[in-house]
Amino acid sequence: MRSFLLTLAGMALLPIAATPAQAAGKTLTIALSSEPTAADPHYHDLTPNNALGKEIFGTLVMTDENQNVVPALASSWKAADDHTWIINLRRGVKFSDGKPFTADDAVFTFCRVVKNTQSITGAFSPIIANFAAVETPDDHTLKIVTKAPEPLMPEKLMQISIISSATAQHGRITFDLDRNCGVTGPWPTIAQFNSGEAAISSGPFKLVKFVKGSVIEMERNPNYWGPKPEWDTVRLVPVPSGGPRLAGLLAGDYDMIDGVSARDANTLKANPAFGIKIKASNRVIFLQLDVARDQSPYVEAPDGKNPLKDVRVRRAISLAINRDVIVKRIMDGAADPASQFVPEMMFGAMPKPEPLTYDPQQAKKLLAEAGYPKGFKITLSATNDRYINDSQVAQAIAQYLNQVGIRTEVDAMTRSIFFSRRSKREFSLSMGGWGSASGGAESFLRQFVATTNRESGYGTSNYGGWSDPKFDAVIAKASATMDETERAAGLREAGRMAMASLPDIPIHFESSIWAFKKGLAYPGRLDQATLAQFVTSAK
């Protein structure tokens, strides 16, 4: 009797233990470390949202894995003059619902970005706010006139996902914001995007299902104009915790994962069933110094002044840090030492910057020259849950500084507190990170090194208060230069000036690591996005 019952129980459990049948066609399952907050591409300017936008919508311009702009829905573009851009649109493109893609859809998209009341932080509206007028001389040409010169127009357009004008009722569409652009019905809402109703795609995939916290399902868009992606169905599963994400890859639940830690990558390298891809990212980890105030909250110097105001002290701090060891030991090799604020391959970066070496003797000499032979006391403030191994890197830096006589304490805190306090200028020496998403070298220099100016938006994160009018002039000129070669030269000049005065000290560039089953391949991306359209099987 008992054995009969046991057999019955065993048989009942069998279907539960057996794996479910595979869906027809090729399916790719990717586990993501951060989840898109919505399928609405204009809702929130967040890396995972933008990555999803590139899969289920199209953009006029795309970036390749090294953040160079390449044509997408726009086949070519040129700057007619300082305030005008002519964009030629690709012909013969159809949306997933069969309707043709025309310049009207682009204008509709621009309008929606501004009229989207549901986006909490006005996601991409600053870009559109600079448009004085948008004309459509014909169905496949856009003429954008800007208020201020915008040399980075292609890169700005890369950020805006194009939606179909069929998602709202409209008359004739024009870029007339006061008259609602000719739209007569309601603008599409987040709910309509999440449910798939408004998710009409001109990209490689189209959205099938968006269940927050559970899964995002996409399927191949048969009307895509570009190279056909290999996968019929793609499932994106959010698994924010690193351990379970790796466990899922090992167990075969996922074909690919992102956000792999360097330690795990080294173990996976030895495992013949898996492959990894390491690629440098555009994120630099750097120190920001309080160079403006005579009294800094966390600095205690024997002469009562702020040693950080002296460039020799700043150079000494940089010389005291052994970046190679930090990269090798703390980042497990998944990083590159930085001698400027963007990796050399990016636009406007110095191809051969002067290397920031490790020379504690020279550091001590400089400190003595500056009048601090016995050093001084300082606190290094950092996050402990935002960047890869952030608190360990901060501790290592503190140790190095201690060795040259700068008695450093580390105050590592959770990110929400760190960013709030830093923006209130409560720190003397803080460690942060910055990913240069667009503009190449201009991004960091404009945000952190230029003098803070509320109206122009320069120096928004310049919490150290560095102010050099000569630098401001160079960066302002470069930002407004339409010619690419000239602009790159201007940015290199600005970079040289920034490295000479060192108000911020770069430490290293983080690398992103992806892991996948053997047989798959991914080129990796500088902008750290995980895009299924570029995942191929090696066969």
Partner 1 sequence: MGTFVFQRLLQSIAVLLAVSIVVFLSVYTVGDPVELLVNPEATELEREAVIRTLGLDQPIWMQYLTFLNNALHGDLGISFVQGEPAIDLILSRLPATFELVVLSLVAALTIAIPLGLWVGLHADVPAARAVMTGSILGYSIPSFWKGMMLILIFSVIFRLFPTSGRGETVNLLGVPFSFLTADGLRHLALPVINLAIPNVALFVRLTASGASEARYQDYVRFARAKGVRPRRIVRRHILRNILIPIVTVLGVEFGSLIAFSTITETVFAWPGMGKLLITSIYRLDRPVVVAYVLLVTFLFVAVNLAVDLLYAALDPRVKLMERPS
Q: Under the rule (CB under 8 A), what is the footprint of partner 1?
A: 15-17, 19-20, 37-38, 43-45, 118-123, 126, 190, 211-215, 237-241, 243-245, 247-248, 250-253, 385, 414-417, 419-420, 423-424, 434, 437, 443, 447, 454-457, 460-461
State the nearest-atom distance from the C-beta of 344 to partner 1, in Å. Answer: 22
Q: How far is the CB of 249 from partner 1 (least distance, A)?
A: 9
Task: Give me the least distance between CB of 435 and partner 1, in Å please.
Answer: 9
Task: Tell me whether residue 248 or residue 523 sits nearer to partner 1 (CB atom).
Answer: 248
Residue 49 C-beta: closest distance to partner 1, Å: 11
3-state secondary structure of 279: strand
* Shortest reach from residue 252's CB to partner 1, in Å: 7
CA 445-449-455 angle, 5° bins: 90
Q: Which CB sits closer to partner 1, 166 or 215?
A: 215
Closest CA to 141 of 91, 92, 96, 80: 91
Element (H, E) at 30: strand 27-32
**CA atoms of 379 and 36, how far apart (whole Å):** 36
- Rounded Cα distance, 356 and 351, in Å: 14
Instruction: Give the residue with the Cβ less far from partner 1, 230 or 253.
Output: 253
Residue with tokens 């953040």: 67
Q: What is the DSSP string of 363-391?
A: HHHHHHHTT-TT--EEEEEEESSSSTTHH
Q: Under DSSP, is residue 445 helix (H, G, I), strand (E, B) or coil?
A: helix
Residues in the chain: 539
Q: Which is nearer to partner 1, 237 or 532 (CB)?
A: 237
Q: Which is nearer to partner 1, 117 or 361 (CB)?
A: 117
Q: Is 508 helix (H, G, I), strand (E, B) or coil?
A: strand
Output the smallest distance, CB 126 to partner 1, in A: 6
By C-beta, is 204 or 459 nearer to partner 1? 459
Contact 28, 521 (CB under 8 A): no
Nearer to partner 1, 10 or 333 (CB): 10
Least CB distance to partner 1 at residue 439 (A):
9
User: Shortest distance, CB of residue 475 to partner 1, whole angstroms?
Assistant: 15
DSSP for 408-469, please give it. EEEEEE-HHHHHHHHHTT--SEEEEEEE--SSTTHHHIIIIISPPBTTTTBTTT-TT----H
Among residues 159 and 322, whose Cβ is nearest to partner 1?
Answer: 159
Question: What does residue 59 show for φ and ψ, rounded to 5 degrees?
Answer: -125, 160
Half-sphere exposure of 530 (CA within 13 A, CB side): 29
Instruction: Report the alpha-carbon distance of residue 462 to residue 479 in Å, rounded.
Output: 17
Query: Could you tell me the smallest distance in angstroms from the CB atom of residue 457 to partner 1?
Result: 3
Place of tokens 């870029």: 175
Give whichever of 106 and 437 is closer to partner 1, judged by the CB atom.
Answer: 437
Query: Exposure of 252 by Cβ count < 10 A (0-12 exposed, 13-18 middle, 19+ buried)?
Result: exposed
Residue 149 or 226 with smaller CB distance to partner 1: 149
**Which residue in this structure is represented by tokens 């050399």?**
344
Tell me whether residue 247 is exposed, middle or buried, using C-beta atoms within 10 angstroms of its C-beta: 0 to 12, 13 to 18, 19 or more. Answer: middle
- Closest contact distance (angstroms) between CB of 450 and partner 1 is 12
